[in-house]
A = this chain, B = another copy of it.
Amino acid sequence: MQQTHRVAVIGLGLIGGSMAIDLKRRGFASEIIGVEADPVNAAAALKIGLADRMVPYDECVREADVIILAVPVGTVLKMLPDILDRIGECAGIENPGRTGGNQGAGVIRKVVLDVCSVKECLVRSVHCHPMRKCYVPTHPMAGTEYSGPWAAMPGLFDGRACIICDSGESDSHSLRVAEALYSALNMRLIYMNASGHDVHAAYVSHISHITSFALALTVLEKEKDEKHIFDLASGGFSSTVRLAKSNADMWVPIFSRNRDNVLRVMDTYMEKMKEFRAAIAEGNEDNIRSLIEDANRIKRIIR
């Protein structure tokens, strides 16, 4: 029988809210305890039914046994050590004298996980924390270009990949809970170290957002008449520019925290653009063709 959990979700936006929906309806969570700093989002989350009740941040660790940090990475960086401190305090109260480590499976039952798109800065920030083993760094790779509690939807994670980082640094209980949680979300689990994660995330996710933002900026600058964009935007343009609707609160800290990897991918990308530009400028159809046919190899990989 599946074990049920009291799950605190800090940040009931697209990701946190969608997790809340499926964890509750699929029986992983007996209760969803919401934490939401923004009063409008908090009211919406309750009204939509993403959480059973809302509690102040200070109370969520005490009330829940699984804590999901679904806020931007800059906020997670500040919260995570504090959450681990509080887990330590709870463990200390329940098991006096045993706060220093996490020996004895079954002693500390609280687990915290984050869902950020950047991982290395997070694992570094709590590397020496005595409760580090209660933390599982995860990245469920799903989303849409929308944000806020009203963007939350059932089934968002079904069939997508979830990366679990540095799994050897979490204790077996925490890891098992995280794995059960993502299994309830129907995700494919992939294990990777945090620095490898950040490299791959830059290639297959962060750069797509930057190219989309740059495309939107280009078209908005060039097409002063928005009606033209509206009239002429084909399905191709819409899908390529879709990510440019993404939320700054989420993406600013991602680019900033994964700076070196993102810059490296951007440099390669700009090299490719320059090759394309040169081929077009020279009217070299053979070179244009060979670039396109090289790019077409993506067909074999992406449906």
Q: Which residues of A contact B (CB under 8 A)?
A: 141-145, 160-161, 163, 188, 190, 200-201, 203-205, 207-223, 226, 228-246, 248, 251-253, 255-256, 259, 262-263, 265-270, 272-274, 276-277, 280-281, 283, 285, 288-289, 291-303
Contacts and interface: CB of A to CB of B under 8 A. Distances in A.
A239 B239 contact: yes
25 contacts: A200-B228, A204-B223, A204-B237, A208-B215, A208-B236, A213-B272, A213-B295, A214-B273, A214-B276, A215-B269, A218-B269, A222-B265, A226-B301, A230-B302, A236-B243, A239-B242, A239-B243, A240-B242, A242-B302, A244-B295, A252-B289, A252-B292, A259-B280, A263-B280, A266-B276
A288 B289 CA distance: 35
A243 B296 CA distance: 9
Contacts of A161: 231-232, 234
Contacts of A297: 216, 220
**Identical copies in the complex:** 2
B212 A301 contact: no
Q: Which of A145, A203, A291 has the most CB of B within 10 A?
A: A203
Given A233-B302, A244-B298, A214 B272 contact: yes
B141 A217 contact: no
Contacts of A259: 280-281, 283
Contact of A141 (B221, B232, B243, B303): B232
Given A203-B223, A248-B288, 15 more contacts: A203-B222, A216-B296, A220-B298, A221-B268, A222-B265, A229-B298, A239-B240, A240-B243, A241-B298, A242-B302, A245-B299, A248-B296, A251-B288, A270-B270, A270-B274
Nearest first, the 8 closest Cβ-Cβ pairs linking A and B are A216-B295, A208-B240, A213-B295, A216-B298, A214-B272, A248-B292, A239-B239, A217-B272
